[in-house]
Structure 1
C-alpha cells in the first residue's frame, strides 16, 4: 500500500535520518509529537544506547518522538504499534470492515489506549495507512 506523505512529514523523515542514520518509512506529524515508522530490525539504532539517539532527535526536532517498528504481517504490525503494552494476540477480521481485535491483559489496557487515547489512535492511523485496517479494537 502506498502512503502519501506531506512535505512536512518528508522533511521530518529526512532530518530524523540525518540525525540517527535510520530512514523511517512513515511519519505522523502532530502538534507536540512525531511518530516515526522505523524499518524492522532498526529500532535499536533509532533509539541508541540508553536512548541517547532518540533524545537528541527530540531536542533537535523540537518535539517528542515516538517510534513504531514495522512488521511483515498486519497482526505483528498492530502489536508493534501498541508497544510497550503487552499484546497476547491480534486477530484481523474481514467482514464488512477490516478490524484488528487486540487481546491485551487488563493491567496493560491503559498503556495500549494511552493518554487521551493517543496510543490506540496512532495504531489505528498507521494500521489504516499500511494494512488498510479500518479499526483497531481492544478485547
Structure 2
C-alpha cells in the first residue's frame, strides 16, 4: 500500500551528542549557517549537516571551499543536505544533483521502503561511489521518517 508521500511529517525529536554539538558550532563559525542537525557516520567516515534548504549554497561555500575546509579540519567527508518539510522534497535534496522525478513509499507490516525514481542517466550519481549516497539516504530516512530501506529505481 502506497501512502500519500507529502502527508507524512518528519519526526524531529533527535538527541545530539556533545561531539555533534561541537561539530555544529564549528560548522556555524566557518559557514555562517546554523545547522538544524548533525549526524556523525563512522560507517561512511562522514559528518552530515542538515541546513535550511535555501542555505545550502552558503554552507557549501564558493567552489565548495567551506566543505573542503571542514573535511580537512575534521578528517571526515562532509555532506550538506537541505532540509524540506515533506518527504518527497527531502528525498530530492538528499540526491542532488541527480534528477529525481518520483518518490514512492511502500509500507508492509514489518518495514517501510522508499523508492526513488531518477533519470536513468543519473542513476550512478544517485547511488554514489560504493553506494555512499544510498547509505546516507538510509541514515537520514531512518532518523526522520522511520523508513528502513531506500531503493534507487
Q: TM-score, normalised by structure 1?
A: 0.87
Aligned partners of 1:125, 1:5: CA distance in 2, in Å?
Answer: 15
Tell whether 2:64 aligns with 1:51.
yes
Aligned partners of 2:104, 2:96: CA distance in 1, in Å?
Answer: 17
**Corresponding residue to 1:85 among 85, 98, 109:** 98
Query: Offset of 1:49 from its aligned partner?
Result: 2.4
CA contact (8 A) 1:75 1:100 kept: no
Aligned partners of 2:104, 2:138: CA distance in 1, in Å?
Answer: 14
- CA offsets 1:100-119 (integer angstroms, 9 cap, x no match): 11111222122111122111
Tell whether 2:148 aligns with 1:134.
yes
* Runs (5+) with no aligned partner, structure 1: none
Query: Offset of 1:22 from its aligned partner?
Result: 1.1
* Runs (5+) with no aligned partner, structure 2: 1-10
Tell whether 2:20 aligns with 1:37.
no
TM alignment of 1:1-139, pairs within 5 A: 1=11, 2-31=13-42, 32-96=45-109, 97-139=111-153
Aligned partners of 1:52, 1:138: CA distance in 2, in Å?
Answer: 30
Aligned partners of 1:28, 1:124: CA distance in 2, in Å?
Answer: 12
Question: What is the aligned-residue RMSD (CA, Å)?
Answer: 1.7
Q: TM-score, normalised by structure 2?
A: 0.80
